[in-house]
Each structure stands twice: as C-alpha cells, then as structure tokens.
Amino acid sequence: MTHQLKDGGQVLNVGMLARVEGEGGMHIEIRDRQVVDVKLNIFEPPRFYEGFLRGRKYTEPPDITARICGICPVAYQSASTEAMETICGVTTTDAIQDMRRLLYCGEWIESHALHIFMLHAPDFLGYESVIEMAKTHGDVVKMALRLKKAGNDLMEVVGGRAIHPVNVKVGGFYRMPTVAELQGLRPDLERGLEDALAAVELVAGFDFPDMEQTYTYVSLRHPQWYPLERGTEVVASNGTRFPVAEIASHIKEFHVEHSNALHATFDGGMYFVGPLARYSNSFDQLSSRCQEAALAAGLAETCRNPFKSIIVRCVELAYAFEEALRIIDGWTDGHPPSVPVEPRAGEGVGASEAPRGTIWHRYRIDADGIIEDAQIVPPTSQNQASIEHDLRTAAQQWVDLDDHTLTHRCEEAIRNYDPCISCATHFLDLRVERS
C-alpha cells in the first residue's frame, strides 16, 4: 500500500511480510534518493525465558528452552545440555554425541527444506506463496515435502516427537533408538540425499541480485567435522578464534530503543551468523561430494551474496543427509543412553549451530543445581544489525526501482536470513518512507 505524504514523499506499507515467522516492523526512510534510516522494529514483548529459568533445576533447560521455537528446538536443547555438562564437569560418550548430531541432522533437514522451498524459492520463481508455486512446480514442491517428511521422521525416531523433542536430557537421552528403527529411515534418507543434491543444481539456476556482505562471519568450529551440534572454537572470518567457553567475553548484547530483542556486537563490531558464515568458515570440512556440488553450482569457497544463501542451505541440506546416513550406518545397539550428571556450583557456556546460525547459552548454577543466572542468545537476534545493514544496502542499491519492486526486494533481503522471528516477534510491518 502506498501513501502520499504532505511533503510529496511516500510511505509504502506492507501489512504482513509473508513467509517468515514472527512479528516485527520495518521502517525505511528515503530522502532525496538517499536511504537515511533503517530500523528493524521488534515489538513483541520480551518472553522472559531467562527469567523463568532462574530458580529452576539444572536438568530443566533442555525441555523449557525447546519450547522457545517449534522449528529449531534441538538447537536450544543442544546448547543447554552442553552448558550444564560443562559446568558439572561431565564428558558424555561418543555414542551420545553421535546421537545428538543425528537428532540435529533431523532439525536441519526439517528447517532447511521448509525455508528453501516453501518460504524462499517463491521469491526467485516469482510467486506469492508455495501454494501458487505448486500449481506450476508441483514436482519441486512434492520433493520439498518428501525432504521435510524425512526430517520429521528422523526427529520422531530419535527425539520422540517431530516438534519439541522429548527424548533429550542433560547427560544424553532417555532412550536410544535401535539399529532396526534407524535402518527403517534409511531408504527415505538415501532418497533425501539425492533430492538435496538435485536441489543444489536446481536453485543454482535462479537469478540472483548482485549484493555483497562485508561484515565478519562468525561460526563454531570443530576439529573433526562441519559445525552442527557443537564446536570447540568460535572462528571469525577476520581471523579471530577462541574457545567456545570465551564467547561471552567477545559477544556483547545491548538494547536498542526500537527492538525488544537484544542486538549484539562481536568484539565491538557488526557480525553475521548463519549458513553463509558456516560455509565460508568451514568449507574445508564439508564432504567432497558437497564441496563439488557447491562449486558446480557456481559458489566459491566463500559466499558473500546473501541472496545465494539458498544455494548454501541446499548444500547443507545434502550434508545433513550424508551425516545422518553415516551415523546410522555406524550405529550399534546397547549404548547407555545417558551418563550421570551431578550438580556442582559454577558457570558455563554451550553453543550449537541452529539452522539459521550460532546459538549460545550461558548458565550459572549453585551447588544444588539451582539456576542462578541464564542467558540465551539466539541467531536471529544476533543478526538484527546485519539484517538492517542488508536492508540499507538493498534499499540504496535499488533506490530507483518502483515502490512495489523495492519493497519486495527488501522483503527478500529479510527472507535471506530465514529469520526465526518467533524467537522474538510474530509480525512484520514493512514501511518505506520517501520524500
């Protein structure tokens, strides 16, 4: 909707931004063809999860924090279990870590398949929604639903439920799946890998606007594998690297007036977490097949064009299927599902790579395991500043487009992030003001 201002300028008002989850507002102000102000307004009231956790037992965060989001609950469970185990001085078994990684593969598959095809692809193919897209790209949508189902099934077998898994605890799991249960998933996972590799090729054919991100890419790093359920270090594209335990001294949250979600800086500067950061910081840890697929799709070993995040997500989707198959093929029955974790006073951090970027939790507990302090830092809140930066860049770069096209381009710039705004908001009201 376009409104004429008294000074001759214009306000473009999009009541709802489709294909994201969450509520927020966007204000873009243009004067004399110059973008003078951009704000991502997150106005949903704070959800007080960190407050809820104080006074609760150290065993409760995996179940409580999983409820923060229906699409990335495993990210919260992984970060919280790792933090508590770190505080309590417990190291779990390789089998437990494998199963955590397998569960996380399910979440990546669910989340990436949903965003790639049902939320993001319509932007490139010129449709308002996946429903419209299905009328002419039925095979693609059916493939997307197959992929999503494979992720859901994996989550159900390992986590007990497709949404908000209930099988995760501090120290491991309540029950380990059997070889027979996991092997039952294999046919769909094999087909999923083929589908995902085909998807890399498919999305590589989309037209991508030219745009480059310049800020620091931050992600986890593990010596053995591409970052997923945990890392040992935090690495940044500017060469900075440090143990995960030190993350709170490098990332500082702060409040801005126009958002109820805290912004954050990395060593005092703007940064980005998410698939592009993981890919660019850890390309060497992808499988050779995924590396080849990425390069064949036209990506370099780093990717700075946020619109091409859809290709990177497809590469990561294929990788998640590969990892799931690898873990299932190596699985044997009889592993203890958990290790005992006795409380001890202390403070610690856990971090994992949610589908949309690094998430970290910091807790302090007393000798009885009662939580005295909690800090939860999800990826979308960390990315608010870079979203605003991308919007400023996009609005300025395409300032001469008509209002409708510019507005749509700005919406696309937001969807590049796959924002899990439900962690902070539920509604996006996009306004572009011109004069």
Partner 1 sequence: MSARDVIVIGLGSPDRGDDAIGEVVADRIRAAFGGMVTVTTREDPTALVHTWEGKRAAVVVDAVMSGRNPGTVRVMEAGAKAPPLPTHAFTASGRGGSHAFGLAGAVELSRALDTLPERVAIVGVEAGTFAYGHLSVPVREHIDAAVAAVADVLAQEGIKEESCVSEPSPR
Binding site for partner 1 (CB under 8 A): 16-23, 67, 70-71, 114-115, 118-119, 129-132, 134-135, 138, 141-142, 145, 148-149, 152-153, 156, 161-164, 421-422, 426-427
Minimum distance of partner 1 from residue 138's CB (angstroms): 5
Residue closer to partner 1, measured from CB, 349 or 414: 414
Residue closer to partner 1, measured from CB, 34 or 136: 136
Who's near 279: CB < 8 A, 6+ residues apart?
A: 286, 294, 299, 302, 303, 312, 315, 316
Residue closer to partner 1, measured from CB, 115 or 362: 115
CA distance 30 to 390: 15
With b for 16 or more beta-carbon neighbours within 10 A and e for fewer, the 173-199 pattern comes to beebbeeeebeebeebbeebbebbbeb
- Read off the DSSP letter of residue 352: E
Minimum distance of partner 1 from residue 151's CB (angstroms): 10
CA distance 8 to 3: 10
Residue closer to partner 1, measured from CB, 148 or 313: 148
CA distance 21 to 97: 30
Minimum distance of partner 1 from residue 135's CB (angstroms): 5
Look at residue 183 and give its three-state secondary structure: helix
Minimum distance of partner 1 from residue 142's CB (angstroms): 6
Residue closer to partner 1, measured from CB, 52 or 208: 52
Residue closer to partner 1, measured from CB, 128 or 301: 128
CA distance 78 to 66: 9
* Residue whose C-alpha is closest to residue 180's, from 332, 321, 324: 332
Who's near 233: CB < 8 A, 6+ residues apart?
A: 220, 221, 222, 241, 242, 243, 244
Minimum distance of partner 1 from residue 82's CB (angstroms): 24
C-alpha distance across the termini of the chain, in Å: 16
For residue 339, the one-letter residue type is V
Residue closer to partner 1, measured from CB, 30 or 182: 182
Paired tokens of 35: 């973008």
Cα pseudo-dihedral 175, 64, 106, 281, rounded to 10: -120
Minimum distance of partner 1 from residue 348's CB (angstroms): 27
Minimum distance of partner 1 from residue 21's CB (angstroms): 4
Residue closer to partner 1, measured from CB, 98 or 156: 156
Minimum distance of partner 1 from residue 5's CB (angstroms): 27
